[in-house]
């Protein structure tokens, strides 16, 4: 749930990186954390199992300038992608304002991508949200593997599998190398802040129209 | 989406200060279920409240799921005791959580009592129409 704090003059939005296990969600946050100057980011919080798999979520707070005189604070979350963590993913989605769906370009992960998107749709539905309505950006990750002879899905195939009807913006990425990471972040942030700000302005207008009740 | 006016934040902080800091609570933080900090009062002493809020919300969410598995309604209070600090989480209405941190010098019973007494006031402030 976006929070607009007129006391501190801040607007808080929650963006969640979603996608199947090992697609590179945590890698995106690590890259952003390392690339952003300290004064524009908070602490990186990760909850993982013994390996490097996300157990609950990762969280990275970042500051993104201003809108309507309010400081923009974005909380980037990742979900645990492994199928059996469905309940946890749902918890992390609580109050989400924007979504990056990270798809794995490995051909053998094709079904996992599709399953994960369906899982996202179902989880959103439980909060009364739809993929059509919420700000959404796709990231087709691991494109660097094109050069090493590992069977990859083509962009056309990924688009066809995941984004045919949604027609959300997409970015090709190699998150380990940082390729496409900021392009993805910029687009989802822009869309999310706009979405939240519009809702806020709309709420203010209707409040006036109804005599001050928000 | 929640919109907090300056006046509302001040009132919330006032309640936390007068009712909780006054009995020795070192830090009181009001958060929502998505993990946002709504208002806080007290000494942060280097505590990262953003991380704390995210973890507290997740912890509460996970516990609510456990309650469901056990056929419980919900556990509306969580409490952890440390060597130095104790932390108490309490649900305020359906969507908010009050986190209080205090040392052994403040009795848990008193914290519980106060939290109970103010939870309706806090809720009224949180959901009131502007
Ligand atoms: N070649 C290549 N490997 C990548 C890329 N992005 C991530 N990886 C690797 O993929 C593995 C999994 O990455 P993570 O970021 O941990 O994946 P995740 O999506 O957070 O996984 P879960 O936490 O289990 O949901 C790691 O070994 C990464 O180094 C990429 O763009 N190219
Ligand atoms: Mg991860």
pLDDT at residue B30 tops 90: yes
Give the tens place of pLDDT for each residue, A24-68.
999 999 999 999 999 999 999 998 876 789 889 999 999 999 988
Architecture of domain A3-201: 3-Layer(aba) Sandwich (3.40)
From chain B, pick out residues whose CB is under 8 angstroms from the CB of A10: none
From chain B, pick out residues whose CB is under 8 angstroms from the CB of A96: 34
pLDDT attached to residue A203: 73
pLDDT at residue B15 tops 90: yes
CATH superfamily placement of domain B6-127: Dynein light chain 2a, cytoplasmic (3.30.450.30)
Task: Give the residue ranges of DSSP H helices in A51-141.
Answer: 86-93, 110-125
pLDDT attached to residue A208: 60
Q: Which residues of chain A have pLDDT under 70?
A: 50, 206-214
Please state, as a whole number, how many other Cβ atoms lie within 10 Å of the Cβ of residue A126. Answer: 10
From chain A, pick out residues whose CB is under 8 angstroms from the CB of B65: 87, 91
Burial of B61 (0-12, 13-18, 19+ CB in 10 A): buried
The neighbouring-strand residues paired with B98 are B30, B90
Q: Kindly report the length of chain A.
A: 214
pLDDT attached to residue A194: 94
pLDDT attached to residue A68: 86
Inspect the interface and report whether the beta carbons of B9 and A94 lie closer than 8 Å: no
Give the tens place of pLDDT for each residue, B97-111.
999 999 999 999 999
**For residue A26, how far is its CA from the centre of ligand 1 (angstroms)?**
7
ipTM for the complex? 0.85
Q: What is the mean pLDDT of chain B?
A: 91
Residues in contact with ligand 1 by the CB-under-6-Å rule are A 19, 21-27, 52-54, 78, 80-82, 141-142, 144-145, 174-176
**B1, B34, B36 member nearest A196 (Cβ):** B1
Q: Which helix (H) or strand (E) holds A197?
A: helix A181-209
Inspect the interface and report whether the beta carbons of A94 and B34 lie closer than 8 Å: yes
Q: Among the bound ligands, name the one nearest to the CA of residue A102.
A: 1
Give the tens place of pLDDT for each residue, B37-93.
999 999 988 889 999 999 999 988 888 888 888 888 777 778 888 888 999 999 999
**B50, B55, B61 member nearest A61 (Cβ):** B50
**CA distances (Å), origin B121, targets A1, B11, B79:** 22, 10, 22
Would you kindly state where each structural domain of chain B is located, as residue ranges? 6-127
Q: CB neighbours of B89 closer than 8 A, spacing ≥ 6?
A: B56, B59, B60, B77, B78, B79, B97, B98, B99
**How would you write A115-181 as a 3-class SS string?**
HHHHHHHHHHHCCCCCCCCCCEEEEEECHHHHHHCCCECCHHHHHHHHCCCCCCCEEECEHHHCECH
In contact, A11 and A196? CB cutoff 8 Å:
yes
């Amino acid at each position: 749930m976006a929070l607009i704090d007129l006391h501190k003059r801040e607007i808080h939005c929650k963006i969640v990186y979603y996608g199947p296990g090992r697609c590179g969600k945590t890698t995106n946050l690590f890259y952003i954390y390392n690339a952003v100057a300290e004064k524009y980011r908070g602490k990186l919080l990760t909850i993982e199992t013994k390996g490097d798999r996300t157990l609950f979520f990762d969280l990275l707070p970042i500051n993104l300038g201003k809108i309507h005189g309010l400081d923009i604070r974005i909380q980037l979350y990742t979900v645990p992608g492994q199928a059996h963590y469905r309940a946890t993913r749902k918890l992390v989605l609580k109050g989400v304002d924007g979504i990056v769906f990270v798809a794995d370009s490995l051909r053998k992960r094709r079904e996992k991508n599709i399953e994960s998107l369906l899982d996202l749709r179902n989880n959103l539905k439980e909060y009364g949200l739809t993929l059509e309505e919420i700000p959404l950006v796709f990231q087709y990750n691991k494109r660097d593997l094109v050069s090493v002879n590992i069977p990859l899905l083509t962009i056309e195939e990924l688009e066809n599998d995941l984004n045919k009807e949604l027609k959300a913006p997409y970015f090709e990425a190699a998150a380990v190398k940082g390729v496409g990471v900021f392009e993805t972040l910029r687009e989802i942030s822009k869309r999310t802040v706009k979405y939240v700000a519009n809702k806020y302005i709309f709420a203010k207008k209707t409040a006036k129209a109804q005599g001050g009740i928000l | 989406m929640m919109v907090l006016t300056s006046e509302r934040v001040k009132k919330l902080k006032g309640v936390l200060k007068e009712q909780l800091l006054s009995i020795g609570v070192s830090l009181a933080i009001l958060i929502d279920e998505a993990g946002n900090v709504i208002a806080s009062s007290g000494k942060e002493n280097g505590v990262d409240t953003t991380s704390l809020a995210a973890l507290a919300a997740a912890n509460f969410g996970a516990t609510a799921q456990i309650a469901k598995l056990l056929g419980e309604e919900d556990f509306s209070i969580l409490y952890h005791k440390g060597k130095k600090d104790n932390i108490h989480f309490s649900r305020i209405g359906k969507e908010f959580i009050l986190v209080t941190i205090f040392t052994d010098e403040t009795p848990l019973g008193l914290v519980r009592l106060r939290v109970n007494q103010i939870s309706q006031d806090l809720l009224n402030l949180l959901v009131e129409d502007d």
